[in-house]
């Protein structure tokens, strides 16, 4: 019987139509995204994305989005396995992060470019001529800053809820790893540094790795004072300075393929007397992972390394 239904159908018609119109309008409209260097009109669901720093790969990998172009310093294996598992191997290298090749980027016909503030501010306008470009600060700051940037990227891509969900899961996994570790680390101080043939660079407590170690319950070996400037976050340290710091646990990321300075220092009694060396609490980790690969997925890998290190402390 039609009459009882008709008023209902009429009643439902308006919201339906309205909703349909709203959806249509929404799909055609791009969104305004505010970032470090201004505001950009970004398409709703960008599909061809070029990323110019490693932490941006991580944000995309978290959302299972594959970029079409990555600035990988011309070395494909700099892209961590935990990322390439999720984004595949189909991306084109656009060159170094320092000077990404603008022609190659243009030839990929991207609909979104994600760039780093410190490195690419000079070419922001040029990048904008190729495709809508958003800029974030991915190289300074600590672990919390990295999470905040990933959150903003999620919003810029129109996948804010998905990113929130992923970050919640990530936080839970990190907390679980912290719980595993916390009993062994109370009171111990730990220090991370990158070492190659010519020098040792220690990462300060305010750096990315420094803040991660702190969140796992390690005490800092270096003083907490100091600014956020790059020179204070990563300090070249002599053997004498290291022996004055005397960390109880030393984590070294070896950079480069040749000799590293600690091999030369092995003969030095001053090195042997550093607390960490004496007690055998000297650990080697991947410098690529710890010092170059910021992101949530890689933070979980670093956390797994920390858990393995802590397990040997008992």
Partner 1 sequence: MSDARRPEFPGLRGPVTLALLGALLPVLMFAGLFAGAIPLEIETVVNSLLGRDGPRQDFIVLQSRLPRALLAALAGGALALSGALIQALMRNPLASPKIVGINSGAAFAVLVTAFYIPALPHSLLPVPAALGGLMAGALVWWCAQRGDIDPRQLTLVGLAVGLTLDAGVDALLVANTGPESSAPLIWLTGSLWGRGWTHLASVAPVLLTLAAAALILAFRLDLQALGPRRAAGLGVRIGLERTLALLAAVILASVAVSVVGVLGFVGLMAPHVATRLVGGRHRIMLPTAALFGAVLTVGADTLGRAIRPPLEISAGILTALMGAAFFIWLLIAEDRRILA
Partner 2 sequence: MTDLTFSRTGRPSRIRLSRGGMRGAVLTCVLAAGALASLLTGGRDDVGLAQLAGLFAGEAASPAEQTMRDIRLPRTLAAAGLGINLGVAGLLLQAVTRNPLASPAILGINQGAALGIVLGLTVPALAVVPGWLLASVFGLAAACLTFAIAGLVSGRIDSMRLILGGVAVGAIGFSAVRLGYTLEDDIAREVVRWTVGDIADLRIDAALRLLAFAVPGLGLAYLMAHRLNLMAMGHAASHGLGFDPRATLVQGTVLAALLTGVSISVAGPIAFVGLVAPHIARWLCGADHRRLLPVVVLIGATLTIWADALSKLLPQAEEAPVGIVVAMLGAPWLLVSVLRRSGTAHV
Provide the binding-site residues for partner 1, judged by CB under 8 A. 74, 93-96, 98-104, 106-107, 116, 118-119, 121-123, 125-126, 129-130, 139-140, 229-231
Question: Residues 99, 126, 129, 182: which binds partner 2 (CB under 8 A)?
Answer: 99
Residue 200 beta carbon to partner 1: minimum distance, rounded to whole angstroms? 15
Cβ atoms of 115 and 124 within 8 Å: the answer is: yes
Which of partner 2, partner 1, none sits in contact with 196, Cβ below 5 to 8 A by type? partner 2
Residue 140 contacts by C-beta under 8 Å, 6 or more apart in sequence? 118, 228, 230, 233
Q: How far is the CB of 28 from partner 2 (least distance, A)?
A: 42
Nearer to partner 2, 128 or 226 (CB): 226
Tokens of 45: 């669901």
Contact between 158 and partner 2 (CB under 8 A)?
no
Cα-flanking dihedrals φ and ψ of residue 33, to 5°?
-115, 130
Structure-token match 């796992």, residue found? 216
d(CA 247, CA 306): 16
Site for partner 2 in 263-292 (CB under 8 A): 264, 268-270, 273
The interface region with partner 2, picked from 7-15, 42-50, 165-173, 262-270 by CB under 8 A, is 262-270
- Report the C-alpha gap between 104 and 121 in whole angstroms: 19
Q: Is 232 a residue that touches partner 2 (CB under 8 A)?
A: yes
Helix axes 160-185, 143-156, angle to 10 degrees: 160
If contact means CB under 5 to 8 A according to the sort of partner, which of partner 2, partner 1, none does residue 40 touch? Answer: none
């Amino acid at each position: 019987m039609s009459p009882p239904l008709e008023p209902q159908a009429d009643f439902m018609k308006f919201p339906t139509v309205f909703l349909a119109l709203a959806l249509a309008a929404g799909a055609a409209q791009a969104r305004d995204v505010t970032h470090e260097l201004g505001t950009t009109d970004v398409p709703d669901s960008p599909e061809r994305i070029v990323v110019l720093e490693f932490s941006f790969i991580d944000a995309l990998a978290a959302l299972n989005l594959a970029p079409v172009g990555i600035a990988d310093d011309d070395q494909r294996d700099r892209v961590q396995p935990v990322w390439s598992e999720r984004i595949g191997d189909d991306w084109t290298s656009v060159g170094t992060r320092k000077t990404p090749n603008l022609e190659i980027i243009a030839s990929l016909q991207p609909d979104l470019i994600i760039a780093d503030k410190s490195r690419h501010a000079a070419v922001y306008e040029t990048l904008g001529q190729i495709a809508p470009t958003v800029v974030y600060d991915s190289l300074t700051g600590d672990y919390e800053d990295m999470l905040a940037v990933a959150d903003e990227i999620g919003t810029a891509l129109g996948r804010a809820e998905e990113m929130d969900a992923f970050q919640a899961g990530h936080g839970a996994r990190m907390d679980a790893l912290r719980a595993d570790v916390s009993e062994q680390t109370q009171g111990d101080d730990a220090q991370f540094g990158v070492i190659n043939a010519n020098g040792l660079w220690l990462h300060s407590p305010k750096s990315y790795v420094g803040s991660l170690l702190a969140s796992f319950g390690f005490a800092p070996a270096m003083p907490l004072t100091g600014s956020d400037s790059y020179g204070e976050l990563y300090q070249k340290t002599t053997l004498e300075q290291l022996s004055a710091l005397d960390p109880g646990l030393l984590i070294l990321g070896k950079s480069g393929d040749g000799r590293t300075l600690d091999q030369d220092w092995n003969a030095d009694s001053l090195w042997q007397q550093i607390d960490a060396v004496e007690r055998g609490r000297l650990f080697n980790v991947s410098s690529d992972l710890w010092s170059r690969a910021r992101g949530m997925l890689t933070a979980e890998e670093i956390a797994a390394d920390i858990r393995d290190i802590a397990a040997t402390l008992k």
